[in-house]
Amino acid sequence: MPQTDLQMLPPHVEPHGKPLSILQSVRAARRNVLEIIPAIAYQQPIVSGRMGASRWHMVQDPASLRRIYLDNAANYPKSEVMLRMLRPAIGNSLFTAEGAEWRWQRRAVAPVFAQRNVTALAPVMTATAERASQRLHAAGPHAELVAEMLTATFDVICEVALSGREHFDAKVYGAAIIRYFETAGKASLLDFLRVPSWFPRPGELLGYGAVHTMHDMVAKAIDARRAQATGQADDLLDFMLKATDPETGRTMSAQDVLHNMQFFIVAGHETTALALSWALQLLALYPKVQEEAYAEARSVLDDQPASLGHLEDMPLGRRILEESMRLYPPVGMLAREVLANDQLGGRDIRANDVIFLPLYALHRHATLWDNPNTFNPDRFLPEQVKARDRYSYLPFGAGPRVCVGANFAMMQAQIILGTLLSRFRFAPGPRPLPHPTMLMTVRPDTGINLRVTPRQM
């Protein structure tokens, strides 16, 4: 039985019943990408349509997703529309590169995210959780949790990437990220209509200032580290500076390093902060679940902050995060292109078609989930996970392009969530509930404003 101690459903997007015109789709995409998902995408395995000269398919069928992500992944490279939005900020780095360009960069950074190295970062995460908890104590009865969580996760990624954050003003950098998402990071009509990429897009010019601010800060941090050049820090920057492509012998240019660092710093904290913020919002709406999670965290941690050794004994904390990312996948939609004709779920897919992968709709699909819009962490009990197709839940993607930071993100989120739940009670604040809104990531449009009360120790 889902544990709904709530009469209404947690915030969700009300899908439109009729297909949108091109102009409506474009407007919706600029406001909230989740609004382009039609109601039937929550019911049907694949929905197809046309936009200008392009045929598109929205895929929510686990078997077809397995083919796209894994079995025939080479036929479904990342879509030009997405790449176009990202390239000004991250060039041809790991997230955006394809083929041999991608392969060697992935090999170069993989060791940083190997279990052993991620485990070594746990003390940094614990220290960050402790600091976040102190900030919440000082903040008073009401807090905006997205900003709090962004500060916490930013600390950790700076440590992984650059062994410290002396060169970063988190507020300046954070504001530049948002400015970028709201300008160059917005899907443009011209992209959907496949107007060539040399033609300037309206938001793009505005976005350049934000990119410049971010690049400048990252470049200064890289320069400072190059000057020390110990090569002993074993952080992401060291691995990139040392990396050599085994096939061609090439090393990363200064530009490659800058673009990769830029991506890691943004992707490495924004997504995890959102997962945590939505989890706290849900727990505020479902106090019974929150009390269970509090009891779990309190009995394991007493008044210590969470560390790696505690996580195994706090499985409910993990399930809460998994269920929160089902309802609010930080990356709510991906897009791919089609190189050669193929078949998905018995449907003909042609070269040059566009494939949308709406993780948000997959995670709320009527044929895959009971009461899909309710919050129920029991869905992630081991027997329930085993009974499900793995491709019905994909917050980190899958196949060769699966998120390289997934373990890192989960560990960090569990440490922060466990620590905070053992020390505070979270309840709805005075403002109306936020609405999930996706530009690049699925954010709460008005932030997560909660009443935060310290627990009696």
- Pick out the residues of the known binding site for heme: 403
Read off the amino acid at residue 85: M
User: Smaller CB distance to ligand HEM: residue 132 or 429?
Assistant: 132
User: Smaller CB distance to ligand HEM: residue 78 or 259?
Assistant: 78
Extended strands (E) in 208-366: 334-337, 342-344, 347-349, 354-357
Contacts of residue 418, defined as CB under 8 A and 6 or more positions apart, other chains included, come to 129, 297, 300, 301, 306, 310, 311, 314, 317
User: Smaller CB distance to ligand HEM: residue 121 or 301?
Assistant: 121
Closest distance to ligand HEM from the beta carbon of 413 (Å): 7
Closest distance to ligand HEM from the beta carbon of 335 (Å): 8
Cα distances (Å, whole numbers) of residue 230 to 69, 221, 409: 39, 15, 27
Cα distances (Å, whole numbers) of residue 328 to 12, 235, 272, 392, 423: 9, 30, 12, 14, 25
Q: What are phi and psi of 142, to 5 degrees?
A: -120, 140
Closest distance to ligand HEM from the beta carbon of 448 (Å): 15
User: Smaller CB distance to ligand HEM: residue 174 or 429?
Assistant: 174
Closest distance to ligand HEM from the beta carbon of 398 (Å): 8
Output the known binding site. 403
State the residues that interact with ligand HEM by CB under 6 A. 78, 94-95, 106, 157, 264, 267-268, 271-272, 275, 330-331, 334, 395-397, 401, 403-405, 408-409
Closest distance to ligand HEM from the beta carbon of 204 (Å): 21
User: Smaller CB distance to ligand HEM: residue 69 or 429?
Assistant: 69
Closest distance to ligand HEM from the beta carbon of 317 (Å): 14
* CA Rg value for the chain: 22
Give the CB-nearest residue to ligand HEM: 405
Q: What is the DSSP letter of 33?
A: G
Closest distance to ligand HEM from the beta carbon of 457 (Å): 30
CB 112 within 8 A of CB 236: yes
Contacts of residue 19, defined as CB under 8 A and 6 or more positions apart, other chains included, come to 38, 49
User: Smaller CB distance to ligand HEM: residue 275 or 368?
Assistant: 275
**What's the token pair of residue 410?**
């989960």
First to last CA, the chain: 32
User: Smaller CB distance to ligand HEM: residue 400 or 432?
Assistant: 400
Extended strands (E) in 244-346: 334-337, 342-344
Alpha-carbon span 17 to 24, nearest angstrom: 13
